[in-house]
A = this chain, B = another copy of it.
Amino acid sequence: MQAARLHETGAPGKLRIEDVPVPEAGDGQTVVSVRAAALNHRDVFITRGLYPKIVLPRILGSDGCGEAGGRGVIVDPTIGWGPDERVWSPDASILGMPADGTFAQNVAIPNENVHAKPEHLSDEEAAALPLAGVTAYRATFVCGGLRAGETVLITGVGGGVQTFALLYAKAIGARAVVTSSRDGKLERAKALGADVAINYATTPDWHKAVRAAVGAVDLAIDSAGGDSFAKALSVIKPGGRAVTYGGTTGDATIKMFPVFWNQLSIFGTSMGSPGDFAAMLAFVSKHFIKPVIDRVYELSEIESAMQRMDDALQFGKIVLRIPSA
Contacts and interface: CB of A to CB of B under 8 A. Distances in A.
Given A252-B253, A254-B252, A259 B239 contact: no
Contacts of A266: 259, 265-268
A277 interface: no
Sort chain A's interface into a size bin: 35 or more
A87 B262 contact: yes
15 contacts: A86-B263, A226-B256, A244-B259, A246-B256, A246-B260, A247-B259, A250-B256, A251-B256, A254-B254, A258-B268, A259-B266, A261-B270, A263-B269, A264-B268, A266-B266
A238 B269 contact: no
A137 to B, nearest CB: 14
Residue among A143, A229, A256, A269 having the largest count of chain B Cβ atoms under 10 Å: A256
Contact of A88 (B225, B229, B259, B263): B263
The 10 lowest CB-CB distance pairs between A and B, nearest first, are: A247-B256, A87-B239, A259-B268, A225-B256, A260-B268, A266-B266, A86-B239, A87-B263, A87-B238, A264-B268
A234 to B, nearest CB: 12
A254 B256 contact: no
Counting every copy of the chain, the complex holds 2
A253 B230 CA distance: 10
A265 B268 contact: yes
A267 B245 CA distance: 17
A53 interface: no
A270 B265 contact: no
A261 B255 contact: no
Contacts of A259: 244, 247, 266, 268
A87 B90 CA distance: 35
A244 B266 CA distance: 11
A248 B206 CA distance: 28
Contacts of A265: 143, 265-268
Given A247-B255, A247-B260, 8 more contacts: A87-B238, A88-B238, A223-B260, A229-B256, A246-B256, A260-B270, A264-B268, A265-B267
Contacts of A226: 256
A84 interface: yes
Interface string A70-96: 000000000000001011101000000
A266 B264 CA distance: 8
